[in-house]
Amino acid sequence: MKKNKNVFKRGMVRLLGNERYQAISIPLFAIVLSLLAGALVILFLGKNPLAAYQNLLQGSGLLPKPAYAGYKSMLTDFTSFMNAWTPMLFASLAVAVALRAGLFNIGVSGQMLTAGFVTSILVGYSSLSAPAAKPLVLLCGILAGALVGGLIGWLKHRFNINEVVSSIMINYIAQYVISFFINTYYVNPVSRQSNVVSREARLSLMDTVVGDLKMDIPLGIVLAVLAAIAVKFLLDRTAFGYELKCVGTSRNAARYAGIRVGKNMVLAMVLSGALAGLSGVTYYLGYFGSIQPKVLPSTGFDAIAVSLLANSNPIGIIFSSFLVTVISKGSTYMSSASGLESEISSVITGMILLFSACGVFIRYKVKNWEDDLTAERRDG
Amino acid sequence: MERIIIDGLSFSLPLFIMAIGGIYSEKSGITNLALEGLQGFGAFTGALAAVLIAGHFSGSSQVTYYLAILFAILGGTLYSLLHALLCIRFKANQVISGVVINILAMALTAFLTKYLNRTIFSAASDKFVLGVSARITIPVLSGIPVLGAVFKDIYPFELIIIVVAVIAWYVMYKTEYGMNLRACGDNPHAVDAAGVNVGKVRLIAVMVSGGLSGLAGISFAYSISANFSSSIYVGYGYLAIAALIFGNWTILPTLGSCLLFGFAKSGGYYLVQLLKMPSSYSDLVMTLPYVVTLLLLIFFSKYNRSPRALGEIYDKGKR
Q: Search chain B and give the residue with CA nearest A176.
A: B283
More confident residue, B128 or B148: B128
Q: Residue B149: CB partners within 8 Å, gap ≥ 6?
A: B1, B2, B5, B6, B142
- What is the tens place of the pLDDT at every residue in A307-364? 888 888 999 999 999 998 998 888 888 888 888 888 888 888 888 888 888 877 888 8
- Any idea what the Cα angle at residue A332 is, between residues A314 and A317, rounded to 5°? 5
Q: Above 70 in pLDDT, residue B58? A: no
CB contact under 8 A, B108 and A347: yes
Q: Residue B263: CB partners within 8 Å, gap ≥ 6?
A: B4, B5, B8, B12
Q: Above 80 in pLDDT, residue A232? A: yes
Contact B215, B164 (CB under 8 A): yes
Q: Above 60 in pLDDT, residue A266? A: yes
- The reported pTM is 0.87
Q: What is the mean pLDDT of residues A231-247?
A: 93
Q: Residue A65 has what pLDDT?
A: 82
Contact A22, A16 (CB under 8 A): yes
B309 domain-assigned: no
- What is the tens place of the pLDDT at every residue in A119-146? 999 999 988 888 889 999 999 999 999 9
Q: Residue B201 has what pLDDT?
A: 94
Mean pLDDT of chain A: 88
pLDDT more than 90, % of chain A: 39
In the stretch 92-131 of chain A, residues with CB closer than 8 A to chain B read: 104, 106
3-state helix, strand, coil in chain A (%, to 5): 75, 5, 20
B299 domain-assigned: no
The stretches of chain B forming alpha helices (DSSP H) are 2-27, 35-53, 63-84, 94-119, 156-174, 176-186, 188-193, 198-219, 236-246, 251-274, 281-286, 288-300
Picking from A352, A353, A327, the residue whose alpha carbon sits closest to that of residue A342 is: A327
More confident residue, B312 or A263: A263
Q: Give the pLDDT band (50/70/90) at residue B319.
A: low
Q: What is the mean pLDDT of residues B42-63?
A: 81
Chain A residue numbers with beta carbons less than 8 Å from the beta carbon of B114 are 341, 343
For B279, the 3-state DSSP assignment is coil
Domains in chain B: how many in total?
1
A44 close contact with B: CB closer than 8 A: no
Its domain, for residue B139, covers: 14-249
CB contact under 8 A, A165 and B108: no
Residue A202 backbone dihedrals phi, psi, to 5 degrees:
-65, 135
Give the fold, CATH level 3, of A70-325.
ABC transporter involved in vitamin B12 uptake, BtuC (1.10.3470)
B45 domain-assigned: yes
Q: What is the mean pLDDT of residues A5-24?
A: 77
B276 domain-assigned: no
Q: Above 80 in pLDDT, residue B57? A: no
Q: Residue A111 has what pLDDT?
A: 96
Task: Give the least confident one: A89-98, A177-186, B235-244.
Answer: B235-244
pLDDT more than 70, % of chain B: 98
B190 domain-assigned: yes
Mean pLDDT of chain B: 87
Interatomic CA distance for residues B196 and B177, integer angstroms: 10
Q: Give the pLDDT band (50/70/90) at residue B296.
A: confident
| B contact test, residue of A347, A348, A360, A366 with most B CBs within 10 A | A347
Cα A120 to chain centroid distance, Å, stands at: 22
B313 domain-assigned: no
Domain limits, chain A: 1-47+340-380, 70-325
Q: Residue B61 has what pLDDT?
A: 66
Q: Residue B216 has what pLDDT?
A: 95
CA dihedral in degrees (B253, B259, B264, B270; nearest 10)?
-160
Shortest Cα–Cα distance, B272 to chain A (Å): 14
Q: What is the mean pLDDT of residues B41-62?
A: 82
Contact A241, A101 (CB under 8 A): no
B263 domain-assigned: no
Q: Residue A380 has what pLDDT?
A: 61
Chain B residue numbers with beta carbons less than 8 Å from the beta carbon of A184 are 280
